[in-house]
Structure 1
Amino acid sequence: MAKDAFAHIEDKELLSKFYSDGNNQWLGILLQRYTLLLYGVCIKYLKDEEEAKDAVQQIFLKVITEVQKYRVDYFKSWLYMVAKNLCLMKIREKHGRIPVEISDKIASAEDMFSKTELLEKDHTLSLIEEGLNELNAEQKLCVTLFYLQKQTYQQITDFTGFNLLQVKSYIQNGKRNLKLIVEKKLKKVNG
């Protein structure tokens, strides 16, 4: 079945279906929905593409075993915490402790935002994620590689086969289009 067939179903409903029938298909849809977000979180903390890819797979396994133990209400927030904790554990294993700058950033970020602000940011991130899916394939790919995976123009050129001008154009137009899409969605939500 096509993944877009479930795009209209909210996270809570998918979770509810999973809790009622135990079918991992519902979890699979949720995890597929947030794979890009997970990868971005892992890259942010681990600073290594291969480690981040491995971490995403580990998060998938952890979610499949852990979600049954809890009654999760906000899947995306819970998933983010699972990802963050796994990344911090990996950093701790590698360095023996969490580097002070990461620890300070986490503490200050958590202190800085109230729950309401975090929910608003979460909503905006969801809109950005939806907006990314509305971009054409070239723009989506280049914007994702540049902003989420922190690749250089040259790395994107090598990876995609696009020339440098195309890459710059796809990123610039993609960023502008994404901003317009998100602003339009925000206006619709805020009336």
Structure 2
Amino acid sequence: MSKDRYEHINDNELLSRFHADHNNEWLGILLQRYTMLLLGVCMKYLKNEEEAKDSVQQVFLKAINELHKYKVEYFKSWIYMVAKNHCLMKLRDKGKYTAEINEQLMATPDEITDKNNYIEKDKALTNMAEALLQLNKEQQVCITLFYLEKKSYQEITEQTQFTLMQVKSHIQNGKRNLKLLMEKKTS
């Protein structure tokens, strides 16, 4: 199934189709839509590209297993929280369960200001991930490789077959478009 072919179908409709015929391809289309968002969330918490990629795969597996059991009304929010909780648990298991993470999970009324700051940052990251998905494919790929995966211009040219000038142009234009999309979302 081609992603573009199903672009007009919203998340709830894809979930309904999945629950109706238990065809994992519907779920695959849905998960593909949020791969960049999930990678961004996992990079934010784990700060390691390989761990983040592995975590996205684990979140996908959890989604496949859990969505067979019950219905989710707001898929995007649900998958975001699954990814966030997965990363926090991973950090806790590694002994990096810091007071900061604990604060995010167990905020007291005195910490509402900190929590609001956290929520705002979280919202900004979500908006950025959504805006990234609105860029054209070339800009999306180059921005992701350069900023999220920390690849050099040369590595990007080798991986994508774009010329060096194309890579620089896609990054520059993508960065500008991302900024415009972010400003549009916040206004």
TM band (smaller chain):
0.7 to 0.9
Using the TM superposition, name which of 6-15 and 17-26 deviates more. 17-26
Q: Summarize deviations over 1:134-157 as a string: whole Å, max 9, x none.
A: x251x22222223434x2xxx322
Contact 1:3 1:29 in 2 (8 A): yes
8 A contact 1:140–1:174 mirrored in 2 = yes
Partner amino acid, structure 2, of 1:41: V
Q: Do the aligned partners of residues 27 and 46 (structure 1) sit closer, same or farther apart at CA in structure 2, a change above 3 Å counting?
A: same
| Gaps in structure 2 of 5+ consecutive residues | 158-162
Distance 1:181 1:47 in 2: 25
The structural deviation recorded for 1:183 is 6.4
2:160 aligned residue: none
Contact 2:37 2:126 in 1 (8 A): no
After TM superposition, what 4+ stretches of structure 1 lie above 6 angstroms from structure 2? 120-123
One-letter amino acid matched to 1:156: S
| 1:158 aligned residue | 154
| AA at the equivalent of 1:112 | N
Name the CA distance, whole Å, in 2 between partners of 1:126 and 1:52. Answer: 15
Deviation at 1:131, TM superposition (A): 1.5
Pair 1:128 & 2:154 matched: no
Q: How does 1:87-106 map to 2 (within 5 A)?
A: 87-95=87-95, 98-104=97-103
Contact 1:131 1:182 survives alignment (8 Å):
no
Q: Which residue of 1 aligns with 2:141?
A: 141
RMSD in angstroms over aligned alpha carbons?
Answer: 3.3
3-state SS in 1 of match to 2:9: coil
- Inter-partner Cα distance in structure 2 for 1:72 and 1:35: 18
Higher relative contact order by CA 8 Å / sep ≥ 6: 1 or 2? 2
In 2, Cα distance between equivalents of 1:69 and 1:109:
37
TM-score (normalizing by structure 1): 0.74
Partner residue, 1:112: 116
> How far apart are the structure 2 equivalents of 1:75 and 1:125?
18
Give runs of aligned pairs for residues 65-84 of structure 1, distance below 5 A. 65-84=65-84
1:128 maps to a residue whose letter is A
Per the alignment, in what secondary structure is the counterpart of residue 70 of structure 1? coil
Decide whether aligned partners of structure 1 residues 87 and 126 sit closer, same or farther in structure 2, where only a CA change above 3 A counts.
Answer: closer
* 1:66/1:136 CA distance change after superposition, 3 Å: closer
Identity of aligned residues (%): 55
Deviation, 1:109, is 8.7
Aligned AA for 2:155? F
Q: Is the 8 A contact 1:88 1:98 kept in 2?
A: yes
1:123 to partner: Cα distance: 8.2
